[in-house]
Amino acid sequence: MSLADQEYLSIVKNILDKGALGENRTGMPAYKLPHQIMQFDLEKEFPILTTKFVAFKTAVKEILWIWQKQSNDVRELQKWNCHVWDEWMREDGTIGKAYGYQLGKYHQVDTLLDMLKKDPESRRMVVDLWNVKDLPDMALYPCAFLTMWDVSNDGRLNCMLVQRSGDMGLGVPFNMTQYAALICMIAQVSGLRPGLFTHVINNAHIYENHVEQLKLQLSRLPEAYAAPKLVLNPDVKDFYDFKPEGVRMSLSIIVARARNGVIGKDNRLIWHLSDDLKRFKTLTMGHPIVMGRKTFESLPKVLPGRVHYVLTGNPDYKAPEGVLLFHDVKRLLAALPAGESFVIGGEHMYRELLPYADTMYITEIEEDFEGDAYFPDFDPFRWKLEESIEGEGKLPHRFCTYRKVTGD
């Protein structure tokens, strides 16, 4: 179970149990509590909710628009097919002197990046979007407005985010995830490791029309999933080189292969390992599964509890309702939601998507088999064997977990 779900829903429960109902500028009454705090160790876990959908890609685009583009021009954000600021766009296409405008005008991002490299011991690394003089010319006062940065002696980048107003139903899940991603990006280009992320919300509130949905989300807590992993393009060394597609959630490969690399014959499995099938179901349940057309056709049925993403070169191919079809790898990857997704076959898909994967769950079968489909070779120096568990049954096999080695 992810810590993000636990900490976030703990605040939600406190507000529902103890919050005071009051009026506000929106016209929708809200229950509120002051001074709510969440803290995450980003080296251990990436904070994104698993008990509700979080528009991760949209969140990344917005934070790059503010911090990297340092823009207040909504039209620039729209070029990324992101429309979260359309409602506040003025006739000149901007949101006034808000958010990215304040970063660019005072070179705050460049100053922070420079201090992290030249004076990491400094206690003056503060980025502030709350410019009192410019508030009247902002379409919306900044909510998440202040970050304070600190470097630990062990080379970890820590950040405290102060948010004056936090809409628990919509805004907070978005903000906590996008700022966690921002910290990880800045850590990477500064030669640091992600550290503590402390999220302080001055006024945490739940609008009256969000109460029932949040109660439903609270009921999902016992079924919350483990936190997914954030994956950054490891080749990016300059903050201004990050692109939205270079900041994504984890893509995993799951496969059973023989000692000689064989994974199948005549579009079917060669072996039947009950513990392997059980492990496959446990790992993939509730997550998207990605496959080629032939693999999809080899399934006995559409697997329950998992959305199927199928790649095919046939534009006229038809699939059952609920199965998502794609004809281009990059479009498929762009469509995957936040959280861990699993590539389940076949050979072509493994070859295409291995460069994008960060985790491999491989059932290593310790015998050779004849077949016509093979798992691609991978560089053992780029992948670290993290876990190896012996399987059960007459056919000797091991459950191995490999993680991609990142960094220099």
Q: What is the dihedral sign for C-alpha 333, 335, 340, 346? A: negative
CB 125 within 8 A of CB 141: no
Q: Which residues are catalytic?
A: 143
Own/partner long-range contacts of 111-120 (Cβ < 8 Å, ≥24 apart): 112/149, 112/186, 113/186, 113/189, 113/190, 113/239, 116/149, 116/151, 116/157, 116/186, 116/190, 116/192, 117/190, 117/191, 120/151, 120/190, 120/192
Examine residue 286 and say whether the peptide bond preceding it is cis (omega within 30 degrees of 0). no
Nearest Cα to Cα of residue 194 among 64, 407, 45, 2: 45
- Dist CA 286 CA 337 (whole Å): 12
Structure token pair of residue 81:
């097919």
- Dist CA 127 CA 213 (whole Å): 34
Contacts of residue 302, Cβ cutoff 8 Å, sequence gap at least 6: 308, 320, 322, 323
Dihedral angle computed from the Cα positions of residues 62, 65, 71 and 74, in that order, rounded to the nearest 10 degrees: -50
- N residues, the chain: 408
**Burial, 69: exposed, middle or buried (Cβ in 10 Å; 0-12, 13-18, 19+)?**
middle
- Dist CA 218 CA 54 (whole Å): 15
Q: Which of helix, strand or coil describes residue 269?
A: coil
Q: Which residues pair with 308 in a beta bridge?
A: 289
The count of other CB atoms within 10 Å of the CB of residue 48 is 24
